[in-house]
Structure 1
Amino acid sequence: MPRRHPERHTERLWLRQWRDTDLDALAEIDADPEVMRYIGDGSPGTRERTAAALARVRSGWDERGYGLFAAEETETGELVGWVGLAVPAFLPEIMPAVEIGWRLRRRSWGRGYATEGAREVLAFAFGEVGLDHVVSICHVDNHASARVMAKLGMTLDRTTHVPTHGRPVHVMSRSRNP
Structure 2
Amino acid sequence: MVYIETPRLILRDWKEEDFVPFAEMNGNPSVMEFFLHPLSGEESRNLFDTVRNEFLQYGYGGYAIEQKSDGAFVGFTGFHNFMFDVDFAPCIEILWRLRQEYWGRGYATEAAKSCLAYAKENLPFSMVRAFTSLTNKRSQRVMQKIGMEFEKNFMHPAVPDGHLLKEHVLYKIQL
One-letter code of the match for 1:169? H
Task: Give the whole-Å Cα distance in 2 for the aligned partners of 1:34 and 1:123.
Answer: 29
Q: Which residue of 2 aligns with 1:168?
A: 167
One-letter code of the match for 2:53? S
Q: Which residue of 1 aligns with 2:7?
A: 11
Task: Give the whole-Å Cα distance in 2 for the aligned partners of 1:62 and 1:122.
Answer: 20
One-letter code of the match for 1:172? Y
1:10-159 alignment to 2 at 5 Å? 10-39=6-35, 41=36, 43-90=37-84, 92-159=86-153
Task: Give the whole-Å Cα distance in 2 for the aligned partners of 1:6 and 1:98.
Answer: 21
Contact conserved, 1:90 with 1:162, CA < 8 A, in 2? no
Task: Name the count of aligned residue pairs.
Answer: 170
Task: Give the whole-Å Cα distance in 1 for the aligned partners of 2:85 and 2:97.
Answer: 18
Q: Where has structure 1 moved over 4 Å in runs of 4 or more? A: none
TM-score by length of 2: 0.93
Q: Shift in Å at residue 96 of structure 1? A: 2.0
Secondary structure, counterpart of 2:158 in structure 1: coil
One-letter code of the match for 2:174? S
Q: Shift in Å at residue 140 of structure 1? A: 0.6
Aligned CA RMSD, in angstroms, stands at 1.2
Unaligned regions of 5+ residues in structure 2, if any?
161-165
One-letter code of the match for 1:134? V
Task: Give the whole-Å Cα distance in 2 for the aligned partners of 1:155 and 1:131.
Answer: 17
Q: Percentage identity across aligned positions?
A: 32
Q: What are the Cα deviations for residues 105-139 of structure 1, in whole angstroms up to 9, with x where unaligned?
A: 11111100000000110012221003211001111
TM-score by length of 1: 0.91
Secondary structure, counterpart of 1:54 in structure 2: helix
